[in-house]
Structure 1
Amino acid sequence: MGRLSDVRIGVAMAASHCNLGRAVATMKELVDEGALVTPVISSSILSVATRFGTPDYWRDQITTIANGEVLQSIPDVEPSGPQHWFDVVLVMPCTGNTLAKLANAINDSPVTMAVKAQLRNGRPVVLAITSNDLLGMNAMNLGRLLVARNIYFVPFGQDDPINKPRSLDAHLELTVDTIQAALRGEQLQPILVPWHER
């Protein structure tokens, strides 16, 4: 019996290709803790090859861990709301672009659809943010979501304050603890974690 035994988690993965390796490793940790994981994948992950991997590589990695299908379109994900598929939706990685869309109620991707469907039921959404501009132009969107009901954050910090002073990154090693807290209706604290404490 793991810490997330039988918890139904929609893992919504936005297209931060450089962070997919960390996200996939964290998804495996969720499965190892007993979670029932359903991946929801940005179309970019399944269509764009980068130096971090090809679409086929990431599809194989994700489906092997989740042991099932990948939801990859808005129609795939839409029933998750009315049919109450998930106990929690985890957006990991949550890019600055995705964060801005969520803060402004823009629903144009499988990832944002998963969040919208979850929030319509008053159920928790956990964001694992990663972006170079979250302390820049995107700070206003971060502020909106920090006070939004049913939205929780994996604790985050400045990953490179000298070279990237506006960048924030989630401490993914705290994901399981964050999900447990969110299921209780609580934000895991402290939410700001200095990066050298990783």
Structure 2
Amino acid sequence: MLAGKKIGIGMSGSFCSLEASLKAIRALKETGADLYCIMSGMVYEEDSRFMDAKDVREQMEEITGHKIVTTIQEAEQFGPKDPLDLIVVLPCSANTMAKLANGLCDNALVMAIKATLRNLHPVVLGIFTNDALGNSGTNIMKLMNTKHIFFIPFGQDDPVKKPNSMVCDPNQLVPTCISALNNEQYQPVIISF
């Protein structure tokens, strides 16, 4: 179902989830999809205690076989000129969700998402945020009610120590993409870990 599909992989700044995201992206590549990576400046440039930016860049270029898209001008190609069949944002930070929910576009990743939506093609979000049940909750619900936006199933990762935090299950990336291409939200979208 995904073999030969042109799929964008957007990565935003949820550094603690990069390793799990890379594993899921490798599984997506094994389906035969043609992957293109678009990174926010934060992920492309900033080292964290979880991974060095250089390692993330090298792994993504090795997985996709394509140069990473980092500028708004490069991301514009995914509009009518060279459209994606689908774009996945994994990890998707609260900051990226807020931009999408409020129509802001200030980096390559958001431009690629907006270009994909312009073409009426699906966008799959894999959220990782410490305030999903706080300030980011309104953005999540707004995006859940937006045409062509779908979510990798997500739930509370630590309700005792981080009661507002929710993360997706990256292991459900492939079935979520298949459902999104059929214009359906993979269910259940709210899960328990």
TM-score under structure 1 length normalisation:
0.95
- Contact kept? 2:14, 2:91, Cα under 8 Å: yes
SS of 1:97 mapped into structure 2: helix
* Counterpart mapping for 1:10-29 below 5 A: 10-29=8-27
For residue 139 of structure 1, report the CA deviation from its aligned partner: 0.8
Per-residue CA deviation, residues 61-83 of structure 1 (Å, 9 max, x unaligned), is 11111112111111110111122
Identity of aligned residues (%): 36
For residue 59 of structure 1, report the CA deviation from its aligned partner: 1.1
Aligned AA for 2:46?
V
Partner of residue 184 from structure 1, selected from 163, 172, 182: 182
Aligned AA for 2:50?
F
**Counterpart of 1:34?**
32
CA RMSD after TM alignment: 1.0
Per-residue CA deviation, residues 80-124 of structure 1 (Å, 9 max, x unaligned), is 112242100001100011111110011111111111000111110
Q: Structure 1: which 4+ aligned runs deviate by more than 3 Å?
A: none
Separation in 2 of the partners of 1:23 and 1:187? 20
- Contact kept? 2:10, 2:109, Cα under 8 Å: yes
**Counterpart of 2:64?**
66
Separation in 2 of the partners of 1:184 and 1:156? 20
Separation in 2 of the partners of 1:143 and 1:84? 30
Unaligned runs of 5+ residues in structure 2 are: none
Partner of residue 138 from structure 1, selected from 132, 136, 139: 136
For residue 46 of structure 1, report the CA deviation from its aligned partner: 1.9
Separation in 2 of the partners of 1:25 and 1:9? 16
**Counterpart of 1:102?**
100
Separation in 2 of the partners of 1:84 and 1:49? 31
Separation in 2 of the partners of 1:57 and 1:42? 15
Partner of residue 52 from structure 2, selected from 51, 54, 57: 54
Separation in 2 of the partners of 1:146 and 1:11? 19
Unaligned runs of 5+ residues in structure 1 are: none
- Contact kept? 2:83, 2:119, Cα under 8 Å: no
**Counterpart of 2:167?**
169
Separation in 1 of the partners of 2:103 and 2:157? 28
